[in-house]
Amino acid sequence: MDSDGPGTGVGVEYYSQGMCTRCHPAAPQHIDSCRDCHAWGVIRKHKWLCWRCRSWRARLPRGACRICQRTNLAVDADQVCNLCDRQMTITLGATVEEANAGSQQLYLANIPFQPTRRRWGNVRRLDKPSPRSLGRADRFGSIEFYPVEHIQLALFDMPRDLANWTAKWMTDAQQHGQLTGELLPDPPHGQMAAFLDAAVLDHAHRHGWPKSTIHRTRRAMRVLQLMQDTPGALLLASDAIQLKDVGLTALPVIDVATAAGVMLDDRQPAIHAYVEATIADLPDPMRTEVREWFDVMINGSTAPPRRKPRDQQTIRLYLRWAMPALATWAAQGHTSLREITSSDVRAILPAAGNPRSTMGAGLRSILTLLKARKVIFVNPIARIQTGSHERRDPLPAHAEKIRESLLSPDPACAALTALATFHGLRAGELRNMQLTHLADGRLQLGQRSILLAEPVRVRISAWLDYRNTHWPSTGNPHVFINSRNSNRTTPVGGRWLTLATGIPVHVMREDRILHEARATGGDVRRICDLFGLSVEGALRYLPDPEPTDLDDLE
């Protein structure tokens, strides 16, 4: 509560006897338990009833519950009240008597639960299926599965030695005559195994997988289920990554389980390991301060001062630019950024140029955020000018290399070079271009409709013929694919573009924009419309103004 003292009521709507509006029993927003099901979190406005109990009172008659023996409650056709009925949702696979035996689990009010239904194990009975369940059942061969909600917690979090575990299991199984060849035992949860096996076949059919990929994915999916601590629970992406240790595929397994809704992606982004490895040699207090900066940068902050999350590449650049200064201060004996003064910052900054501006940007990001979070007392770089980055003038590319790529027998190289050379597309636009963006000789990119040149149409047609010949059943919607992503729906990597063309895409794009600027005499509006640039970005490509008589007078 935010107030100046007891009884003042500053910053709140109701304040009396040392209690706020949520705690005072006479306040309109006082929180209490539901009258019927005892769920915590209801207010007087709704007559001390939760949403579900209000619905039960509106459509069901009053009576006595045969389970808890309470009277004057809304009961269903089985003479069961809302509280006793909810126990079947919390306790899966149990009858109403079994779910309420011994005790009852209370809960928070007005939190969505799955609709109460009778269950057999974890299988939904399809006597009267909903349209959503019908679609899912049709896709997976009328197999319906829902992961269990209880999870067996591990006492010790130890890494799995999957290679030795698999070898030992294979040896023991062969000795007992339970294993022949490369067959695997049945997973502990039969319904989940059948559901995932059908999901693999459905995913493979929709994405055009070959038989070898289907076989490897089904085998890896079985091994992943054998690794579970709780049979029938959600699969973990971190466990799936370990399948590579025994030569099994991991990415198709993650794709199938994610599409089926039974995968929990608990992988930590690689930038966390990068930051920890980068600051490993810094003193402990300084590492703690940099971690505070990184946490706000990667996750944002809803508490004042509020900040939005930043891109991972931005965080990498700022940390890389600031690390020489941090490492030098640590070598000089400083253990915390609180000890850094403006003199220390001026002494560490380079004299001029890009090194000064980049180091200044990295230090300014860290020190300004820590000052706003009250981790350090003053911002030592606040009044120090570090300048801006020096802009590189665009230069024309080598025509011979571009001509060689345009005439390349590789259809991917020729098509990519043509799009970048004739229309100046960015690398991201080439990677994310989809088949639906091509129609009637035009390329639709957001709000831009590009009329493709004739040489570009010829090379794209050749690439599409090659694509259909090598991957006729692929479900990848992107125009450019390769052998690594043909079985998935993800775009190609940025490095693949340079490997396919032999020339960085941004070099060909700058050459095309520079030629257009010189051919049109610096028409800014034309450059912005053709290549999707801002006015400031287009000004970089304008030719230098010719000297005038006034310049000579100066």
Together in a domain, 418 and 509? yes
Does residue 128 sit within a domain? no
Residue 495 to residue 66: CA distance in whole angstroms? 68
Together in a domain, 281 and 408? no
Last residue of a domain, one of 264, 284, 313: 264
Per-residue pLDDT of the chain (554 residues; tens, 9 = 90+): 444 443 444 444 545 566 776 676 666 677 889 999 999 888 887 788 998 898 888 888 899 999 998 998 999 888 999 899 888 877 765 788 888 888 888 888 887 544 443 333 333 333 334 443 434 444 555 577 888 877 777 777 777 766 666 655 555 555 544 444 345 677 888 888 899 988 999 888 888 888 888 888 998 898 888 888 888 888 888 888 888 877 888 888 998 988 888 888 888 888 999 999 999 999 999 999 999 999 999 998 888 888 889 999 999 999 999 999 999 999 999 999 999 999 999 999 988 888 899 999 999 999 999 999 999 999 999 888 888 887 777 777 888 888 899 999 999 999 999 999 999 899 999 999 999 999 888 998 888 888 999 999 999 999 999 999 988 888 889 999 998 888 888 899 888 999 998 889 988 998 888 888 888 888 888 888 888 888 888 888 876 655 555 444 44
Together in a domain, 62 and 110? yes
Residue 355 to residue 483: CA distance in whole angstroms? 41
Together in a domain, 244 and 313? no
Does residue 137 sit within a domain? no
- Three-state secondary structure call for residue 30: coil
Together in a domain, 413 and 523? yes
Together in a domain, 248 and 297? no
Torsion of CA 254, 258, 264, 270, to 10 degrees: 50
Residue 58 to residue 74: CA distance in whole angstroms? 9
Together in a domain, 351 and 429? no
Range of the domain at 327: 271-372
Residue 414 to residue 403: CA distance in whole angstroms? 10
Task: Judge contact between 366 and 345, C-beta under 8 A.
Answer: no
Place of tokens 């490492």: 327
The pLDDT of residue 128 is 38
Together in a domain, 467 and 368? no
Together in a domain, 535 and 407? yes
Last residue of a domain, one of 264, 288, 316: 264
Nearest to 41 by CA among 116, 104, 106: 106
Together in a domain, 352 and 416? no
Q: Is the pTM above the cut of 0.75?
A: no
Does residue 393 sit within a domain? no
- Backbone CA torsion sign across 200, 201, 207, 213: positive
Does residue 49 sit within a domain? yes
Does residue 391 sit within a domain? no
Task: Judge contact between 419 and 469, C-beta under 8 A.
Answer: no
Residue 83 to residue 53: CA distance in whole angstroms? 9
Does residue 384 sit within a domain? no
Residue 459 to residue 375: CA distance in whole angstroms? 58
Does residue 182 sit within a domain? yes
Place of tokens 């595929």: 249
Together in a domain, 366 and 418? no
Does residue 38 sit within a domain? yes
Torsion of CA 458, 459, 463, 469, to 10 degrees: 40
Last residue of a domain, one of 264, 280, 295: 264
Together in a domain, 424 and 529? yes
Write b or e for each residue in 309-340: b if 16 or more Cβ atoms lie within 10 A of its Cβ, otherwise e: ebeeeebeebbebbbbbbeebbeeebebbeeb
Burial (CB < 10 A; 0-12, 13-18, 19+), residue 503, is buried
Nearest to 392 by CA among 552, 521, 275, 541: 541
Q: Which residues contact 144 (CB under 8 A, 6 or more apart)?
A: 123, 124, 126, 133, 136, 137, 195
Number of domains observed in the structure of the chain: 4
* Strands 40-42 vs 62-63: parallel, antiparallel or unpaired: unpaired
Task: Judge contact between 230 and 188, C-beta under 8 A.
Answer: no
